[in-house]
Amino acid sequence: MKIKGIKIKLHFSTLLIVALVGFYSATFYSSLIPDASIWELILVGVINGIIIIFSILIHELSHSLMALRYGLKVSEIELNLFGGVSKMEEEPKTPKSEFKISIVGPLSSFILGALLLIFLFLPIPLPAFVLVILFYSGITNIGLGIFNLLPAFPMDGGRVLRSFLWSRKKDLLSATKVASKVGIFFSYSLVVLGFIQWIFLGDFGGMWLILMGFILSSAARRSYYQTKSEVKLSNIIVRDILAQKFVLPYELPLIDAIKYYFMAFNQYYFPVVDAGEFVGILHLDDIKQIPIEKQTEFIVGDIAKKISEFPIVFDEESGKDVMKILTQMDKKPNIAVVKERYDQNIIGFIDETELINALKL
């Protein structure tokens, strides 16, 4: 299913959320109505479980639609055991856009929760199980909004904090570093709270907080290093990291290319030339597709991929832009042809490994 071009993906673990919400809401109803029938309990549980899934979807859609307004591409929304995530292909470009994209999710949860609770005050006679469904779902949505506003980066609240720091410091990396540290602090606070709840209060729900805390801690560190890499890549110009590569003649026997090039030099792909022009690329993986006993039957040009099969980037582009192009390629190997902007001459080739190595310099 797609909404506004955004793919909606439902992970099988989402069923556990439905089951947990259903169980706790049915238990809540049973505590209020001790003589409730089994069918009422099932109905309350199932409806509340379905409502929470739609609530999470609305929350994530709010993020995604706001991101689209700011020109960011959102590939999909995935609903899973821990709620949902909007998969944006790039970070917001300004503190203002990050703030709006982040805050709109919790706001949608608050609004939805308030709408559900308002029905309780309308002068309309409703069955007890409907009132409980409205109350439980309303409180759950408000709780969802509050939880997401915790300044635990990369959750919504942590991103709101980063947008504020980014606006003040004018430095995305510095803001991300501080937001990540705050996020890690809150993550370990959840772990401690979970242990207290589990060990001292005998509530196994504390295990959920422990798991959530460790996952958030890992996500905070990963998000910081990802931002750090993107910032560094954005300051790298492709022409500055192009490495000189040996080339293979089109008519060269494949067995000679293996023996005198792939085995002799530290390259896992070679540009292929014919009559002084680049015509293709031969990758080690292409050779692996040929049975050893038949490798003597081919020349380089027989199995090399054509230049036209690879994306073109220009020498003045940033490493960040090129990495984005490479990671979006449908076919391997992830290699781009580098041309000069003005005369369109091919001056080299670049792949993900070379960009990653540039980050280590």
Structure confidence at residue 62 (pLDDT): 95
From first CA to last CA, the distance across the chain in angstroms is 44
Query: Model-level pTM?
Result: 0.82
Query: All domains of the chain, ordered by start, with CATH?
Result: 2-149 (no CATH), 238-359 (3.10.580.10)
Indicate the helix (H) or strand (E) that contains 203.
Answer: none
- 33 CB contacts (<8 Å, ≥6 apart)? 40, 128, 129, 132
Structure confidence at residue 353 (pLDDT): 86
Structure confidence at residue 331 (pLDDT): 81
DSSP-assigned beta bridge partners for residue 263: none
Structure confidence at residue 60 (pLDDT): 94
Structure confidence at residue 83 (pLDDT): 80
CB 273 within 8 A of CB 279: yes
Nearest to 136 by CA among 50, 229, 253: 50
State the Cα–Cα distance between residues 187 and 197, nearest whole angstrom.
Answer: 15
What DSSP designation does 47 have?
H
CB 158 within 8 A of CB 151: yes
pLDDT, averaged in runs of 10, over the chain (361 residues) = 84 85 90 89 93 94 94 89 82 93 96 94 87 94 94 92 94 94 93 89 80 90 90 90 88 94 89 93 93 91 93 92 87 90 87 86 69
CA-to-CA separations, 320 to 40, 193, 232, 238, in angstroms, rounded: 55, 40, 8, 10
Per-position DSSP letters for 108-123, written without gaps between them = HHHHHHHHHHHGGGSS
